[in-house]
Amino acid sequence: MRIHSDRDPIVAIATASGRGGVGIIRLSGNDEFIRDFIAQFWGQDEHLKPRYAHYRKFRDGNGGILDEGLALYFPGPRSYTGESVLELQAHGGPVMLRMLLQTVLQLGQSRGLRLAEPGEFTKRAFLNGRLDLSQAEAVADLIDATSEGAARAASRSLNGDFSNFIHKVGDQVVELRALIEAILDFPEEEIDFIQSTHARERLEKITRDFNELMHLSQQGSILREGVTVVLVGSPNVGKSSLMNCLSGSDIAIVTDVAGTTRDKLENLININGVTLRLVDTAGVRDTEDKVEAIGIERTLQAVEDADIVLHLIDATHENSDEEGLKTLEKVMLRVAKGVPVVTVMNKCDLNPLKEENQGVLSISAKTGLGIDLLKNKLLELVGWENKPESTFLARERHLEALNRAFEHLTLANQFVSYEEPPLDLLAEELRLCNDELGVIVGETTPDDLLGMIFSRFCIGK
C-alpha cells in the first residue's frame, strides 16, 4: 500500500454535495504536474493564462464530451495552497461531477494524483506558509458559522486579527526574555535587573494585553461554540411552550396532558448574534412507565452537557415549590460543576401574585411576559458583551493554550516581585508562556494535533 505524502498531487470536489448550478473540481500539485495535466487534458498546444477564466470542454478518457465550463489556473506560490492549483468549474450535478472526477484521477494516476484527504488543501496552505494555524481553522469556522456574528468573527480571524494579537503579546514576552537572558550571560556585570529593564512595567503591560486577548477569545468562543440551554422541570410546567416561544415557531407539541414530551427535542435560536441550542426535555418525576423513565434519564443526561439549565416551575400550582425542589434535587446531582441553574416561574399571567417571587425569573411563555428579561439573563450568564465588531473566533484548544500561557505569566509576575528575582526561572516561565502562544498559531504544534485539526474539515477544503 502506497503511503500518502504531503507532496502528492491531490484532487477533490470542492463544492458541497448535492445538486447545484456550479460544481468545482480542484487539483493541487507542483507546477510541472499541473502544466502536464493541462496539456494531457486538452492537448499539447493548450496553455491557460494564469488567473483567467477559460471556457473549455471537459472530455472523458475516450474523447467524449462530458460537460463544458470554466478552467482557472493559479501558479504557485500565489494560490490557495501555495502549490499550483487548477480548478474546473462544471455544472453542479453530483453524477456529472463524479464522472469528471473519475476522468481526472485516471489521467493523473500515473503521476501519483490521488484524492485529497479531509482538509488537505487548507493543510497545505498552512504547511506552505499561506496561512497560520489559527487562520486555517478560521476557514472551517467561516464555513460552519451558524450566525452572522460568528461569520464576521471567523472572517476577522481568517484575515489575521487573532494571529496579530497573539504575535503582539508574544513579541513582548520574547523581548523581555531576551533582556533577562542577556543579563544571565554576563553575571559578572553588576546590573540592577529590575531597574535596567523596567521588568515590572513590562510585565504589567504584557498582562494587560494578555487579559484583553483572553477576554476577546472567550467572547469569540461563545460565538463559535454557541450555548446549550436545557429546559427541565416537572411535567406540564410549560417547558415545550417556552421552547416554542423562544424559537418563534411550534417546534414542540404542547398539550394539557402531563408527560407529552417523552424524549429531548433540540432547536437552534439566535439572540444578539449568539447561537443558543435549546433542549426541551421530558418532565422529571417518579414514574412506573418504562418509556417515560427512559425519557427522564435522557433529560438528566442532557443536563450533564448543559452550559445553562433553566429549571421551570408552575405559578398556578400551589405545591409548585415542593415539586420544583424534588426536580431540582435530581437535576443538581447531574449538572456539571460551575454550570448555572436558573429557576424560572412560568404561567405568571395566570397568577400575577407570583410575579414578585424574589430570586426567581417570572415569565409567561404564552403571552411573552418576561421573555426579553430571560434572554438578557441567558446572555449575561455566559458573559456575552454585545461588541462583535472587536471579536475574533476562538476554539476550545485556543482557550486551553491561553490558560496555560497565563499560568506561566502569573508565575513570572510572582518571580519579578521578589527582592532578588530568580532570573533563570523567570526566563523559563516566559519561554513556556511564549511556547503556548505558539501552539495557537501553529509554531509549536505537534503533528498529531495538526492531523486531528484538519481531519475535521470537509473534503475539498
Strand order in the sheet with 265-271: 265-271, 274-280, 227-233, 308-314, 341-346, 361-362
Q: Are 267 and 314 found together in one domain?
A: yes
Q: Is the pLDDT of residue 113 over 70?
A: yes
Place of cell 476550545: 396
Q: What is the torsional sign of CA 143, 265, 304, 293?
A: negative
Cβ neighbourhood burial of 95 (10 Å; 0-12, 13-18, 19+): exposed
Between the ranges 51-60, 212-221, 231-240, 340-349, where is the mean pLDDT highest?
Answer: 51-60
Q: Is the pLDDT of residue 261 over 70?
A: no
Q: Are 201 and 322 found together in one domain?
A: no
Q: Which residues pair with 71 in a beta bridge?
A: 54, 88
Average pLDDT on 391-399 reads: 86
Q: What is the pLDDT of residue 360?
A: 79
Q: Are 33 and 88 found together in one domain?
A: yes
Average pLDDT on 45-73 reads: 91
Q: Are 231 and 217 found together in one domain?
A: no
188 is a domain residue: yes
CATH number for the domain harbouring residue 370: 3.40.50.300
Confidence at 323, pLDDT banded by 50, 70, 90: low
- pLDDT tens digits, 127-155: 999 999 999 999 988 988 888 888 888 89
Beta-strand pair 84-90/65-74:
antiparallel
Q: What is the torsional sign of CA 248, 251, 254, 259?
A: negative
Cβ neighbourhood burial of 208 (10 Å; 0-12, 13-18, 19+): exposed
2 is a domain residue: no
Q: Are 235 and 377 found together in one domain?
A: yes
Cα–Cα distance between 192 and 98 in angstroms, integer? 71
Q: Which residue has the higher pLDDT, 302 or 376?
A: 376
Q: Are 151 and 75 found together in one domain?
A: no
Q: Is the pLDDT of residue 260 over 50?
A: no
Q: Are 147 and 64 found together in one domain?
A: no
Q: Is the pLDDT of residue 329 over 90?
A: no
Average pLDDT on 291-311 reads: 77
360 in Cβ contact with 345 (< 8 Å)? yes
- pLDDT tens digits, 403-447: 999 999 999 999 988 878 888 899 999 999 999 999 999 887 777
Boundary residue ending a domain (332, 350, 381): 381
Q: What is the pLDDT of residue 257?
A: 44
120 is a domain residue: yes
Q: Are 368 and 249 found together in one domain?
A: yes
Q: What is the pLDDT of residue 248?
A: 81
CATH number for the domain harbouring residue 421: 1.20.120.430
Mean pLDDT, the chain, rounded, equals 84
- pLDDT tens digits, 281-296: 866 665 556 665 677 6
Cα–Cα distance between 157 and 142 in angstroms, integer? 9
Q: Which residue has the higher pLDDT, 297 or 378?
A: 378
Considering only CA atoms, which of 227, 209, 163 is closest in space to residue 393? 163
Place of cell 394539557: 256
77 in Cβ contact with 85 (< 8 Å)? no
- pLDDT tens digits, 213-255: 998 888 888 888 888 898 888 888 888 888 888 888 766 555 4
DSSP strands (E only) in 317-424: 341-346, 361-362
Q: What is the pLDDT of residue 328?
A: 76
Q: Are 341 and 412 found together in one domain?
A: no
DSSP type of residue 98: H
Average pLDDT on 313-335 reads: 74
Grid coordinates given for 116: 485529497
1 is a domain residue: no
Grid coordinates given for 379: 446572555
347 is a domain residue: yes
Q: Residue type for 309, please?
A: V
Q: What is the pLDDT of residue 326?
A: 73
Q: What is the pLDDT of residue 255?
A: 47
Strand order in the sheet with 65-74: 54-59, 65-74, 84-90, 23-29, 10-13, 114-115
Q: Is the pLDDT of residue 262 over 50?
A: no
Whole-angstrom Cα Rg for the chain: 29
- Tell whether pTM > 0.85: no
Q: Is the pLDDT of residue 376 over 50?
A: yes
Grid coordinates given for 167: 504575535
334 is a domain residue: yes
Residue 399 domain boundaries: 139-221+392-442
DSSP type of residue 286: -
Grid coordinates given for 264: 429531548
Q: Which residue has the higher pLDDT, 225 or 354?
A: 225
Omega cis (within 30) before 421: no
- pLDDT tens digits, 148-207: 888 888 899 999 999 999 999 999 999 999 888 887 776 655 455 656 667 888 899 999
Average pLDDT on 106-124 reads: 92
Confidence at 88, pLDDT banded by 50, 70, 90: very high
Q: How many domains does the chain have?
A: 3
